Amino acid sequence: MLSEQELLRRTKREELMRMGIDPYPAELFDFTHTTQHLRDAFAHKAARSPAGANTQGGYESHLDLSADPTYGQVRMAGRLMGFRIMGNASFAEVQDSAGRMQLYFRRDDLCPGDDKTMYNTVFKKLLDIGDIIGVEGHVFTTMTGELSLYVKQFKLLTKSLRPLPVVKEVVNEQTGEKEIYDAFTDPELRYRQRYVDLIVNPHVRETFIKRSKLVNSIRQYLTDKGYLEVETPILQPIHGGAAARPFVTHHNTLDMTLYLRIANELYLKRLIVGGYDGVFEFAKDFRNEGMDRTHNPEFTQVEFYVAYKDYNWMMDTIEEMVEKVAIDVTGTTKVTVGPNVIDFKRPWKRLTMFQAIQEFTGVDVSEMEEDSLRDVAESRGIKTDSSMGKSKLIDEIFGEACEPNLIQPTFITDYPVEMSPLTKKHRSKPGLVERFEAICNGKEIANAYSELNDPIDQRARFEEQLELARRGDDEAMAMDEDFLRALEYGMPPTAGVGLGIDRLAMIMTNQPSIQEVLFFPQMRPEKKSEVSTEADFVAAGVPVQWVLAVQQLGFMTVAQLQAANPNKLFNDLGGVRKKLKMSEVPMPKIEEVREWVG
């Protein structure tokens, strides 16, 4: 059922059409300025001294640009976000992509002749908050120093049929801080209707602009180094490159199972085999696993692979790149995240995994066998079971003792070989691989290797994964014969990395949840409760005039009505008839009511 306000807006839409005003005109609207342009252009007119600063808007008062060649005739477009109507003159707020600006409408300037319809009817009666309009006029400031547009003409560009949440913001005179009233904060509504969130919450729009800057910063860095941006398959016959459960789909023509990629690693390495020195891809990956504050089923990584390099080189590169990202996105290397200030300035701390464990637990686990490791884990409250081998136990201890405490960006290096089937064995440390993770704010943001390029060793590692799969590990990697074939032709020594864009965006924008850096985070579908239409009720025998009354009594579906007690319904209808002022509609007979119920 439509709300009162929605019905009214639909009526206004019709009324406009009757007046010959198209609420959804086809032709373009050529605006000359945005709010950003104007604020920048008048920045030097901003009142700077506190002496004359009791101005609301912060600009010199009484600027009048009506004769100015540029600002005497300005066209702007945007969404109406508020009205202050005062008889024959009014103020309104328009919001465009950059922000808000005040509009001034004066009846006799808008309508110089006798016909005051455009002001009295179209502007005052038929426009609503949320409508999109184009305006033309000159720039001026009011007595209070608010930069404004003196509107001489306006044109409706889009009628909005749903009422928008109205968020009001006021600057506290004592503290000078902004206070927000009636903020639109319900996370469910914000995520399901992100468009509303973006209209009403400027800081949300800002977060996503920063995310875009972050991606651009990385793209620019990698492109400037001469690496090639590529695209590789999202639909893959074999999912590889990470340990995760995939989403499964089916191709009808080929009649085959395909997987949404969990990583693109193996394809990028094929391109290194093909002879490119460096390739990268911003990749949406899909993992069929749990969702929480840091996991969404689809997420973005940038993976890149560079020939003739190793993981030490990659650490230098990641440091340099992320430091640049921090500066490009936030203007500084020091980023506030929750209660912490994280400094991305190079160089970052580097610890081997064993060093990290020793630093946070005081225990040297580097020479330990499985039993001792199990004791260490148990002593720290980690639940263990017999299926957990050495490397799993080390990983658990690290995850419990170290990772959450690594707030400043830190490289953790040299992981146990069992957990890294695509990584080259360490050049000098047996049992370890040349791998690092970059940890920041207690969470992994990047994972990198000296890539394994010995095809015989790679095959053996895949075999181990198959063994794990046979024992029931549904995240074990699958054998990829084509990838092995590529390695057999020869892949140069290569360094590769995957960097989580969402996690990095959370840090750079100080957001506690991944949902805040994804426009449309995954949600359970909203379920509309079943409601019968007017036509359904009429079809069931209820006269049109009585449908509303029946709905008022709580019968939202025909089925509910048919389960009703006809005598009680008959009585209740009498009451509703009075309430709805239906005196001109005759009361139905009890027999008729019985027929509705059926």
Partner RNA sequence: GAUCUGGUAGCUCAGUGGGUAUAGCAAUACACUUUUAAUGUAUGGGGCCUGGGUUCGAAUCCCAGCCGGAUCACCA
Q: Segment 297-356, which members bind RNA (CB under 7 A)?
A: none
In the list 531, 538, 544, 587, the residue contacting RNA (rule: CB under 7 A) is 531
Helices and strands of the chain, counted as H and E runs: 20, 20
Closest to RNA by CB, 274 or 512: 512
Closest to RNA by CB, 247 or 276: 247
Site string for RNA, 538-577 (x = CB under 7 A): ----------------x-x---x-----------------
State the Cα–Cα distance between residues 562 and 541, nearest whole angstrom. Answer: 11
Amino acid symbol at 71:
Y
Q: At its nearest, how many Å lie between RNA and the CB of residue 150?
A: 7
Per residue in 497-509, is it b (16+ CB within 10 Å) or e — as a string? bbbbbbbbbbbbb
Nearest one of 513, 508, 422, 538 to 187, comparing CA atoms: 513
Q: Which helix (H) or strand (E) holds 108?
A: helix 107-110
Let me know: does 416 contact 461? Beta carbons within 8 Å: no
SS3 string of 160-222? Answer: CCCCCCCCEEEECCCCCCEEEECCCCCHHHHHHCHHHHHHHCHHHHHHHHHHHHHHHHHHHHH
Amino acid symbol at 476:
A
Q: At its nearest, how many Å lie between RNA and the CB of residue 95?
A: 13
Let me know: does 134 contact 31? Beta carbons within 8 Å: yes
Verify binding: residue 144, RNA, rule CB under 7 A.
Answer: yes
Three-state DSSP class for 64?
strand
In the list 140, 227, 436, 483, the residue contacting RNA (rule: CB under 7 A) is 140
Q: Alpha helix locations (H) across 439-589? A: 455-470, 481-489, 501-508, 534-539, 544-552, 558-562, 566-579
In the list 17, 19, 85, 460, the residue contacting RNA (rule: CB under 7 A) is 85
- Among the listed ranges 221-229, 337-345, 363-371, 515-523, the one in contact with RNA (CB under 7 A) is 515-523
State the Cα–Cα distance between residues 550 and 534, nearest whole angstrom. Answer: 10
In the window 43-82, what residues touch RNA (CB under 7 A)? 56-57, 82
In the list 22, 40, 108, 359, the residue contacting RNA (rule: CB under 7 A) is 108
In the list 148, 201, 207, 450, the residue contacting RNA (rule: CB under 7 A) is 148
Q: At its nearest, how many Å lie between RNA and the CB of residue 224?
A: 29
Verify binding: residue 143, RNA, rule CB under 7 A.
Answer: yes
Let me know: does 275 contact 296? Beta carbons within 8 Å: no
Closest to RNA by CB, 219 or 245: 245
Q: At its nearest, how many Å lie between RNA and the CB of residue 51?
A: 18
State the Cα–Cα distance between residues 123 and 212, nearest whole angstrom. Answer: 37
Q: At its nearest, how many Å lie between RNA and the CB of residue 168?
A: 4
What's the Cα-to-Cα distance from 331 to each of 12, 23, 409, 427, rounded to whole Å?
47, 43, 18, 39
Q: At its nearest, how many Å lie between RNA and the CB of residue 561?
A: 12
In the window 179-198, what residues touch RNA (CB under 7 A)? 181-189, 191
SS3 string of 339-399? Answer: CEEEECCCCCEEEEHHHHHHHHHCCCCCCCCHHHHHHHHHHCCCCCCCCCCHHHHHHHHHH
Closest to RNA by CB, 437 or 451: 437
Count of residues engaged in binding RNA, rule: CB under 7 A: 84
Closest to RNA by CB, 96 or 217: 96
Site string for RNA, 367-406 (x = CB under 7 A): ----------------x-----------x---x---x---
Q: At its nearest, how many Å lie between RNA and the CB of residue 48?
A: 17
- Among the listed ranges 22-30, 135-143, 455-463, 503-511, the one in contact with RNA (CB under 7 A) is 135-143
Q: At its nearest, how many Å lie between RNA and the CB of residue 574?
A: 12
In the window 574-593, what residues touch RNA (CB under 7 A)? none
Q: At its nearest, how many Å lie between RNA and the CB of residue 273?
A: 25
Site string for RNA, 111-130 (x = CB under 7 A): --------------x--xx-
Verify binding: residue 83, RNA, rule CB under 7 A.
Answer: yes
In the list 33, 79, 211, 287, the residue contacting RNA (rule: CB under 7 A) is 287
In the list 20, 87, 226, 430, the residue contacting RNA (rule: CB under 7 A) is 87
Angle (CA) 594 597 598, round 5°? 85
In the list 67, 527, 583, 584, the residue contacting RNA (rule: CB under 7 A) is 527
Q: Please, is 93 exposed, middle or buried when counting C-beta atoms within 10 Å of its C-beta (0-12, 13-18, 19+)?
A: middle
Q: Alpha helix locations (H) across 225-369? A: 265-273, 311-330, 353-361
Closest to RNA by CB, 392 or 424: 392
Written as six digits, the tokens of 308 are 């003739």
State the Cα–Cα distance between residues 159 and 16, nearest whole angstrom. Answer: 10
Q: At its nearest, how many Å lie between RNA and the CB of residue 383?
A: 6
Q: Please, is 446 exposed, middle or buried when counting C-beta atoms within 10 Å of its C-beta (0-12, 13-18, 19+)?
A: buried
Angle of the 202-224 helix axis to the 311-330 helix axis, nearest 10: 140
Verify binding: residue 475, RNA, rule CB under 7 A.
Answer: yes
Site string for RNA, 155-174 (x = CB under 7 A): -------xxxxxxxxxx---
Q: At its nearest, how many Å lie between RNA and the CB of residue 7?
A: 9
Q: At its nearest, how many Å lie between RNA and the CB of residue 125?
A: 5
Bridge-based pairing state of the strands 432-440 and 410-416: antiparallel
Closest to RNA by CB, 118 or 228: 118
Amino acid symbol at 31:
F
In the list 35, 142, 450, 458, the residue contacting RNA (rule: CB under 7 A) is 142
Q: At its nearest, how many Å lie between RNA and the CB of residue 524?
A: 3
Query: For the CA atoms of the chain, what is the radius of gyration?
Result: 33
In the window 200-259, what residues touch RNA (CB under 7 A)? 242-245
Residues 6+ apart with CB under 8 A from 256: 237, 250
Site string for RNA, 7-26 (x = CB under 7 A): -x------------------
Site string for RNA, 425-464 (x = CB under 7 A): ------------x------x--x-----------------
